[in-house]
Structure 1
Amino acid sequence: MSKNVHPISKETQPATTSRNLSPFAEMEQMFEQMFSPNWMRSFNRDLPSYGRLAQPFAGKIPRVDVIDRDNEILVRAELPGVDKKDVDISLANNTVTIKGSSKHEEKEEKGDYYRCEISQGAFSRTLTLPADVDTDKAKASFKDGLLELVMPKLQGAQKRNIKVE
């Protein structure tokens, strides 16, 4: 294999849903795909020293799952390397914002970095929720780098099936 030929990595495709998305939800999905944490990967592969320059931008957006259950909304966020005390969650106007920071205290004093992928710094992610939630009854837990936020739906926002007559 030639030195200039690099194998193509298979990126995971975002989950698709069978329901139609609103134009705003489609736009949000397109932006998330366009600005995924891996968008600078080719620069790092072709220019190894570029990794240090790209570090402030790489890997900062937490990956999330938003699950619409009958009576509640569940949000799971991957926050590896983040301490529980460095996470801030806010709920307002049908959105949830997850903010935090990670720190990497060690700095290599000997030699030059050939590859630098361990990210540090602040992140923020705001998600639109699929239903109105009771912010007073929301609960969050954090274990092994996984944040889980459970938010009960407001009474009028709960799912119900309607029989077609």
Structure 2
Amino acid sequence: MANEGKQETKGQELRKAPARALSPFEEMDRMFDQYFRRGWMRPWRFEWPSFPEASLPEMKLPKVDVVDRESELVVKAEMPGVEKNDLDISVSDNTVTIKGSTRHEEKEEKGDYYRCEISRGAFSRTVALPANVDGGKAKANFRDGVLELVLPKVEKSKRHSIKLA
């Protein structure tokens, strides 16, 4: 009973999470994050100072592609520096959540950093899916820093005619 709601797939543990759609506010936050990450201040060629201790957790979010095929959805996420064992993936009817972390071995550096852009630490990314999926039949593959999830779509209920009496 300990494995109820869980499935082991190629070394990955997939958990069936309760269905939860992204709220309009979460979706708007995601859209703003994408807009500002693109570099809307590029024309001025000014770079804001980078302070690693003040970096936002959104900077650590993996980039994700969602491909809608006829009978399945394919989710690909870039996660360089993440180890397979540091990933936790959960699937609900219409969302997938990817949690993980990157490790950083402390070593003494001579001098101060001039630039520090490599994100380290924990992240969590929830992606809304365009169709309901069967998390129990999901397949996961992690290779060269890219996670690929193949999520079979749930069969839509067939249309029935109802005759009035």
* TM-score tier (shorter): 0.5 to 0.7
Question: How many Å apart are 1:40 and its aligned residue?
Answer: 9.0
**1 or 2 for the larger relative contact order (CA 8 Å, sep ≥6)?**
2
Amino acid at match of 1:143: R
Q: How does 1:76-115 map to 2 (within 5 A)?
A: 76-115=76-115
In the aligned structure 2, how far is the partner of 1:127 from the partner of 1:58? Answer: 14
Q: Which residue of 2 aligns with 1:147?
A: 147
In the aligned structure 2, how far is the partner of 1:115 from the partner of 1:90? Answer: 35
Q: Is the 8 A contact 2:72 2:150 kept in 1?
A: yes
Question: How many Å apart are 1:108 and its aligned residue?
Answer: 3.8
Question: How many Å apart are 1:105 and its aligned residue?
Answer: 1.0
Q: Is the 8 A contact 1:51 1:115 kept in 2?
A: no
Q: Which residue of 2 aligns with 1:45?
A: 47
Q: Is the 8 A contact 1:87 1:100 kept in 2?
A: yes
In the aligned structure 2, how far is the partner of 1:58 from the partner of 1:137? Answer: 30
Q: Is the 8 A contact 1:73 1:150 kept in 2?
A: yes
Question: How many Å apart are 1:55 and its aligned residue?
Answer: 3.5
In the aligned structure 2, how far is the partner of 1:27 from the partner of 1:75? Answer: 23
Query: Could you tell me the TM-score, scaled by structure 2's length?
Result: 0.67
**Uncovered stretches (5+) of structure 2, i.e. residues with no partner:** 1-21, 158-165
Amino acid at match of 1:38: R
CA deviations 1:72-98 (Å, max 9, x no partner) are 011000111101111110012421100
Instruction: Compute the RMSD of aligned alpha carbons.
Output: 3.0
Q: Is the 8 A contact 1:56 1:121 kept in 2?
A: no
Question: How many Å apart are 1:71 and its aligned residue?
Answer: 0.3
Q: Which residue of 2 aligns with 1:31?
A: 29
Identity of aligned residues (%): 53
Q: Is the 8 A contact 1:64 1:75 kept in 2?
A: yes
Structure richer in strand, relative to its length: 2
Q: Is the 8 A contact 1:73 1:152 kept in 2?
A: yes
Amino acid at match of 2:153: K
Q: Is the 8 A contact 1:62 1:77 kept in 2?
A: yes
Question: How many Å apart are 1:126 and its aligned residue?
Answer: 0.6
Paired residues, number:
132
**Uncovered stretches (5+) of structure 1, i.e. residues with no partner:** 1-23, 158-165
Question: How many Å apart are 1:46 and its aligned residue?
Answer: 3.7
Amino acid at match of 1:61: L
Say which SS state the counterpart of residue 81 (structure 1) adopts.
Answer: coil
Q: Is the 8 A contact 1:55 1:117 kept in 2?
A: no
